[in-house]
Amino acid sequence: MSKTPSNSLNDQRDEQLVERYRNGEAAALEVLISRYHQELYHFLARFVSDRTAGEDLFQETFVQVHLSADTFDTSRRFRPWLFTIAANKARDYLRKMKQRAAFPLSGPMAGDARERSVLDLLQDDLPLPDQQAVSAEQRLRVRSAIEQLPDHLREILLLAYFHQLPYKQIAEVLEIPLGTVKSRLHTAVGTFGKTWQADPANRSGGS
């Protein structure tokens, strides 16, 4: 039975779980994996536009967490550190893919978007599986527009709008200055908007 240990671990902050894992409690890492599975998997799958690769990269990310746990400074927040590892894994994957061939558009992802302003579209697009789907066709158009962004713009858009990380945490994850986060995000939103508007289907889309 896993009652008392599980409950006590589930009540712990991320940083406390890392500390307990370093002290020999293997279950602490399992709690972290469960806690971040949905959010981190969706970040990775959207980043590389491939569900299967997203799951593989999720596993690789936590293998790295296991290998690097002793180096983590528990006085800092775990989440930015985790996303830094994940983003690096995703970048490595994309570099390998681009060495082989053009990156293909994979099958539809769970989620949808509502045609409103560019910012509304970004904030509401591709919800998690338990949210109501509205338009599979529009979902694909949004994904297509996002996939056309350069990697450095796509990643900042995902972190800011889909995962709603504050600018300071994005700066930590991407290892760039705060001012660069703001200017790059502004560029990403503008580029997405132009790409979206350039698609005739989006200009003539319904309500």
CA 155 centroid distance within chain:
8
Residues 94 and 136 in one domain: no
For the chain, the C-alpha Rg in angstroms (whole number) is 18
Q: How far apart are CA 183 and CA 123, in angstroms?
A: 18
Q: Classify residue 177 by burial, with Cβ atoms within 10 Å: 0-12, 13-18, 19+.
A: exposed
Using the 3D structure, point to which of 101, 129, 157 is the last residue of a domain.
Answer: 101
End-to-end distance of the chain based on CA atoms, in angstroms?
A: 52
The CATH number of the domain where 181 resides is what?
1.10.10.10
The CATH number of the domain where 6 resides is what?
1.10.1740.10
Q: How far apart are CA 136 and CA 125, in angstroms?
A: 11
State whether residue 183 is helix, strand or coil: helix
Write out the residue range of the structural domain in which residue 177 sits.
109-207
Q: How far apart are CA 203 and CA 199, in angstroms?
A: 7
Cβ atoms of residues 25 and 70 within 8 Å:
no
Residues 69 and 114 in one domain: no
Q: What is the pTM of this model?
A: 0.65
Residues 90 and 137 in one domain: no
The per-residue pLDDT string of the chain (207 residues; one tens digit each, 9 = 90 and over) reads 344 445 589 999 999 999 999 999 999 999 999 999 999 999 998 888 888 999 999 999 999 999 999 999 999 999 999 999 999 999 899 888 876 544 333 333 333 344 345 555 554 444 433 333 446 677 777 778 888 888 889 889 888 887 888 888 889 888 899 999 999 998 988 888 888 888 777 665 543
Using the 3D structure, point to which of 54, 70, 101 is the last residue of a domain.
Answer: 101
Residues 150 and 97 in one domain: no
